[in-house]
Structure 1
Amino acid sequence: MLDVIEKQIIAGSACPCASGLGRHHCCELDLAQVQIVPPERHAEALAALTRAYHGGARETARRLALEILEMSPGQREALGALFNLLRDAGQAQAATSAIVRLARLFPNDAAIRSVAAGFFLQRHDLPQAYAHGRMLVRLAPEESVAHFLMGRIFLARGKAQAAEFHLQSAEQLAEPGKRDAPDLQAARAVALREQSKFGEARAIYERISAAEQLSVQMLLDWAALEEAARDFAAAFALLDRAEATRSGDPRVAVMRAGLHRRVQEPERALDAIDTSVTEGQPATLLSKGQILDSLGRYDEAFACFDLYKARLREGGARYLADEANQLVTALTDFFTEGRARLLPRAAVRQESAQPIFIVGFPRSGTTLVEQTLSSHPQISAGDELPIIGSIAQRAQLLLGSPGGYPSALSELWLGDRRGHVDTLRDLYLNEAHEMGVVVAGKRWFTDKMPLNETHLGLISLLFPQSPIIHLVRHPLDVVLSVFSNALTHGFYCASALESAATHYARIADLIAHYRSVMPLRYHAVRYEDLVTDQEREVRAMLDGIGEPFDPAMLAFHHNARHARTASYAQVTEKLYTRSRFRYRNYLKHLEPVIPILQPAIERLGYSIES
């Protein structure tokens, strides 16, 4: 007898996700028509499935799960078992389809939400992990594991203060014997590190170490803490302990290489990357490429970057081109000169510090500017605040509009909604306060969320008096730097050289459009000018903000805060010019994207030189 999968293939109805189900019982299933079937209806088959799964007979278990689901597509236990089998087999697309379907069929099942949140967190699909994690906490607010998972998700999203809140809640809700669980305490240490609370974080690691419960990952996180605190000797010692715990672990090699690069030892960094490991691990390919670049071996470096991105694409990473194009088109169509005159602007909330928006494509120099500005006594560092993007996502709900963003903003033209622009402003400021970026006694805080420039129209409505500092850098340098780093911003555009250039061009056109139709308190800073005439550019920025010059800003590398970006190491060094026009070393590799970037290159006043 043919098994279920063979029948589907012969019939031509197998689902493209490769779950083994027919397409109409899988990705094309009409959930509204699904009948929820109790386990009793398939009791015998489910019992056999369970025995096969726990007995290691995975193919038998999969066959039984498929047979049940072909008869009852909404059977919870069979669908859950199929998800487990697909996940364990590394079939990410099919496993994703199964767990999403489970969550939609059983939206109030906390166990399913917990599994879904953990699965997407492991895959670094943070939007999905975030959505399921929030629902989990709503469903199980008294469960320690729910808060622990939400804390880890917030950590992955760069929201350390929110992470610390949930991790503390997890500790308080845990059974007495589990409150000092190493995983929980180590996660708290990372949250503290990301808030530059180095002493508190170090004390946690020392307690875990005294109990001899440190894992390799904990040792690596502790080493990252010491690197952030600039105690490089302590960081190297911790990497030695991690290597002794698990010899040959690629994570140790990558971090050791990065640390050698940090202390200007590129040859030793290259030695730390073992060739056999590099061939099988994407992260080591990226690290090796960056080391080769620092050694001037540019062709070899580009080959590593190219292979690294290819491996990511093989794993499912891809530029969401349609989604990006739809958003940019919608924003361009909505924000016109005529409409801009009609839209209300929020008043300044006088009792609160105000945001300074530092915008620019990733790798354009925004971290450098934030470190510089936050060295001023009246400016605190907000880092990458996701608030503007969150308001855009929730605009339809917040404004009670039948349309999504940006058309939802048309509600502000109506007489009973005009005051809601102040409500949206307050939502932003209140969240900034809760995230701890507003410091008592300071008049400003920075927001340098990558690609916030996508939402300049919304920003100009909520904060018409806030400075917008736009970092401009040679487009070829920006795209090359995006390609040679691990970034997910911008609809995953960094997954390929061409898509990085395409998204850069889209956003450049959008910024030009905003500037032509919207009144903006806009100040452009050219990266190349900043690194060659620092004081002049810093004074010009402060003139735009309305604050006096402070000499401490020229020594931004002494700023003790930990920058949580790919540029964290560079901004602890004195200002250097070696990244200016770096594209010249890779010009032959960049030729395919020059036509895409040429309009932006000319508009910004750059040229291409070999």
Structure 2
Amino acid sequence: MNSQEQQTLTALKQSLMQSNHQHVIAQSKQFLNAKPSEDATREAMYVMAVAYRLAGEIKSAISTLLHLVEIFPDYGRGFQELGYCYLRENAHSEAANAFYQATRFNPALVAAWQQLEAVYKRDNQPQALALAQQHISFLQSLPKPLLGAHDLMHEGQLHKAEQVCRQFLAKNKHHPEAMMLLAELGVQLKVYHDAEFLLESCVALYPDNDKAQAAYQGLLAKLGKFPQAAKVARARLAQQPESFSIKVSLAHALVGVGELEEAIGIYHRLLADKQDRPALWVALGHALKAKGDVKEAIASYEKAAMFAPDFGDAYWSLANTKTYRFDDNALTAMQQQEALETTKLDDRIHLCFALGKGFEDAKQPDKAFEYYNKGNDLKKRTHRFDIARTEVALEAQASACDAELMSEFSGCDAPDPIFIVGLPRAGSTLLEQILASHSMVDGTMELHDILGIASSLSNQKKAYPFNLADLSDEACIALGEKYMAQTQAYRQSAPFFIDKMPNNFVHIGLIKRILPNAKIIDARRDPMDCCFSGFKQLFGEGQEFSYSLDDIGRYYCAYEKLMNHWHSVLPDHILTVQHEDVLDDLEGQVQRILDFCGLPFEPACLSFYETKRVIKTPSSEQVRQPIYKTGMQQWKPFESYLDELKLALTKRSNMS
């Protein structure tokens, strides 16, 4: 939002406070006609709706708000205002749902919680009432600046929230709630190193604060530091041996480490106590799928859907096995569920992607694309992703890591890591499975450690990646050794191991600075196949570029441009493996990959589908069967809808 927009909105709010309702409505319309920025649009529509309500024009207010939450489906304050409008219309059920949505998207809205408290008292819902009252009590206990910072954060004003929080901490050093809030803001701003330091400090200062322990454990899991997360969970469980939530979090960390039997045992024991726990059935399904027990995983996902017919994650998890098929009755029921106003946003998104896959399998590409597009559109609106900023960031890598810098290697000389990089859905899981079938290579998972090291370098006087040139030999060695130590927990006893984090392609300069002997394999796939496959995939986290055809096309071009740079400054250090070549000539490409890694040929690499190991990516079932080509050109039936993607990819052909 620029300064002119901010001034206009400030004037509108002042007029609203002076009860100049019609003036506010007219000026808001004029402002919106000028097509302001997204943030300014959201605020102006909200102000206009409030003016309509205060002027007694309730139907106009509701119409404005419904349009507002359609454009910004996670705008908590918009739902709260909608609740007030429905109350004026005596539409109590609609009001209750609006207030509930408000608290889901902005848990800091005390007034919305108080409205729900009245609803739960009236409808005699003791469990929901207790939770609402607990939340109200917590919010009212917060110092006003922190409550305001919570509100700003949930409305997406992260930098303002951070400023308020830091000002409060300057006067109230080591306040635990402020430290936890600042850490949460750090996570949302992707300053993970700072967030981890804050929570680690908070836990050290307040060892009895389980909320801080839980936040720290959650961040460790988010960063892929599952061994540490499991350690924290076990310590918490020793203090609270009957805690349901801690047991669940321990099981989640154990799945991350790959200790599936213990995790599955925890899930089974908790479900034996009470079957009606749909989220737990899905978590169990994920663990079983990672283990390779797909039949049992599907049964778990179906149980989740049985207990909660509106639980979108259950349906998407079924679709995401890539082998499950919904029948016509299931598709109809899912469509009805997705269309309900009471279905939560997250569930709607999951249902849309599941319906897209269901209709694609049913050979109905028009219907399939309708739901894929709807799911992507809803998901994109919940992010503040800017492809232009990402393009600049990738160009910065090329600028900082020039040929001169990349000609000098001085890091940890361990040859153990084999990095497989690229874009999601480009065939990297297949390459990982081939290599992990070799007796001298451990398969691990998508490790977050390089991303974490990059994050730790981001908060320096000189910005990353430009500070890579300033790293001393000793610093490079120390960072390489840190990576080796952190990843040890995911290895068995083989001399080499795989790190299959696709996004590491961004950080190849960092990798070669700190691990000069690491092997790097770039998994490449036909751009239309790769991009459309990414567009169809609802990722658990990250990959924000994948929820728009234009974004994903531009991202592919930026990726390819950066990879071309890495090849030019690191000749012979990176092996590009084209997915289509692997499908056409498996033995030849396997030999090529093994030669690059300095490994002797082993027949097990050709029968990779027989290798039993933990796989947690969407392609897990696809790489547990022999090579097949049905994944090629899956975009063709959707071609009439993909002009935006084709246009974005024209930049690629212009570069070559």
TM-score category, normalised to shorter length: 0.7 to 0.9
Do the aligned residues in 1 keep the contact of 2:426 with 2:579 (CA within 8 Å)? Answer: yes
Q: Distance in 1 between matches of 2:627 and 2:270?
A: 38
Seen in structure 2, the aligned counterparts of structure 1 residues 301 and 50 have a Cα distance that, compared at 3 Å, is closer
- Secondary structure of the residue aligned to 1:93 is coil
Q: 2:323 aligns with which of 262, 273, 281?
A: 262
Specify the alignment match of 2:461 in structure 1. 402
Specify the alignment match of 1:424 in structure 2. 479
Q: 2:645 aligns with which of 581, 593, 603?
A: 593
The answer to whether structure 1 residue 329 and structure 2 residue 329 are counterparts is no
* Higher mean C-alpha displacement, 179-188 vs 112-121: 112-121
Specify the alignment match of 1:39 in structure 2. none
Q: 1:320 aligns with which of 381, 386, 398?
A: 386
Seen in structure 2, the aligned counterparts of structure 1 residues 54 and 495 have a Cα distance that, compared at 3 Å, is closer
Specify the alignment match of 1:291 in structure 2. 358
Q: Distance in 1 between matches of 2:545 and 2:653?
A: 19
1:239 CA drift (Å): 4.4
TM-score by length of 2: 0.72
Q: Distance in 2 between matches of 1:157 and 1:240?
A: 30
1:189 CA drift (Å): 1.6
Q: 1:346 aligns with which of 396, 407, 411?
A: 411
- Secondary structure of the residue aligned to 2:242 is coil
Cα deviation digits, residues 170-194 of structure 1 (max 9, x gap): 223x3xxx32211111221222233
Seen in structure 2, the aligned counterparts of structure 1 residues 443 and 239 have a Cα distance that, compared at 3 Å, is closer
Specify the alignment match of 1:365 in structure 2. 427
Q: Distance in 2 between matches of 1:575 and 1:348?
A: 35
1:268 CA drift (Å): 6.4
Specify the alignment match of 2:88 in structure 1. none
Q: 1:168 aligns with which of 234, 241, 255?
A: 234
Q: 2:17 aligns with which of 7, 29, 32?
A: 7
1:81 CA drift (Å): 4.0
Specify the alignment match of 2:555 in structure 1. 503
Do the aligned residues in 2 keep the contact of 1:219 with 1:241 (CA within 8 Å)? Answer: yes
Specify the alignment match of 1:151 in structure 2. 217
- Secondary structure of the residue aligned to 2:143 is helix
Cα deviation digits, residues 515-550 of structure 1 (max 9, x gap): 112344221111011122212211110011111122
Specify the alignment match of 1:137 in structure 2. 200
Unaligned residue ranges in structure 2 (runs of 5+): 1-11, 32-38, 48-107, 119-140
1:467 CA drift (Å): 1.9
Cα deviation digits, residues 332-368 of structure 1 (max 9, x gap): 2222234433x3433523xxx6100111111111111
- Secondary structure of the residue aligned to 2:233 is helix
Q: 1:101 aligns with which of 158, 164, 174?
A: 164
Q: 2:374 aligns with which of 304, 307, 311?
A: 307
For this pair of structures, how many residues does the alignment match?
534
Q: 1:576 aligns with which of 628, 636, 646?
A: 628
The answer to whether structure 1 residue 179 and structure 2 residue 241 are counterparts is yes
Do the aligned residues in 1 keep the contact of 2:199 with 2:215 (CA within 8 Å)? Answer: no
Question: Structure 2 counterpart of 1:438, which letter?
Answer: R
Q: Distance in 1 between matches of 2:111 and 2:513?
A: 60
Question: Structure 2 counterpart of 1:296, which letter?
Answer: K
Do the aligned residues in 2 keep the contact of 1:357 with 1:448 (CA within 8 Å)? Answer: yes
Seen in structure 2, the aligned counterparts of structure 1 residues 114 and 318 have a Cα distance that, compared at 3 Å, is closer
1:500 CA drift (Å): 0.8
Q: Distance in 2 between matches of 1:9 and 1:411?
A: 59
Q: 2:498 aligns with which of 446, 454, 468?
A: 446
- Secondary structure of the residue aligned to 2:418 is strand
Aligned runs of 1:472-551 on 2, under 5 Å? 472-487=524-539, 492-551=544-603
The answer to whether structure 1 residue 217 and structure 2 residue 279 are counterparts is yes
Q: Which has the higher helix share?
A: 2
Seen in structure 2, the aligned counterparts of structure 1 residues 322 and 109 have a Cα distance that, compared at 3 Å, is farther
- Secondary structure of the residue aligned to 1:337 is coil
CA RMSD after TM alignment: 3.8
Seen in structure 2, the aligned counterparts of structure 1 residues 179 and 9 have a Cα distance that, compared at 3 Å, is farther
1:373 CA drift (Å): 0.8
Q: Distance in 1 between matches of 2:486 and 2:299?
A: 39
Seen in structure 2, the aligned counterparts of structure 1 residues 98 and 380 have a Cα distance that, compared at 3 Å, is same
Question: Structure 2 counterpart of 1:429, which letter?
Answer: M
Q: Distance in 1 between matches of 2:476 and 2:278?
A: 49
Question: Structure 1 counterpart of 2:331, which letter?
Answer: D
Seen in structure 2, the aligned counterparts of structure 1 residues 369 and 54 have a Cα distance that, compared at 3 Å, is closer
Do the aligned residues in 2 keep the contact of 1:382 with 1:446 (CA within 8 Å)? Answer: yes
Unaligned residue ranges in structure 1 (runs of 5+): 22-48, 60-74, 605-610
Cα deviation digits, residues 184-224 of structure 1 (max 9, x gap): 11221222233332321222123323433762211221233
Aligned runs of 1:363-402 on 2, under 5 Å? 363-395=425-457, 402=461
Q: Distance in 1 between matches of 2:252 and 2:148?
A: 34
Specify the alignment match of 2:417 in structure 1. 355
* Higher mean C-alpha displacement, 265-274 vs 364-373: 265-274
TM-score by length of 1: 0.77
1:496 CA drift (Å): 0.8
Do the aligned residues in 2 keep the contact of 1:76 with 1:102 (CA within 8 Å)? Answer: no
Q: Distance in 2 between matches of 1:490 and 1:50?
A: 27
- Secondary structure of the residue aligned to 1:426 is helix
1:508 CA drift (Å): 0.8
Cα deviation digits, residues 278-299 of structure 1 (max 9, x gap): 2351111011112222333222
- Secondary structure of the residue aligned to 1:428 is helix
Seen in structure 2, the aligned counterparts of structure 1 residues 153 and 295 have a Cα distance that, compared at 3 Å, is farther
Q: Distance in 2 between matches of 1:318 and 1:55?
A: 30
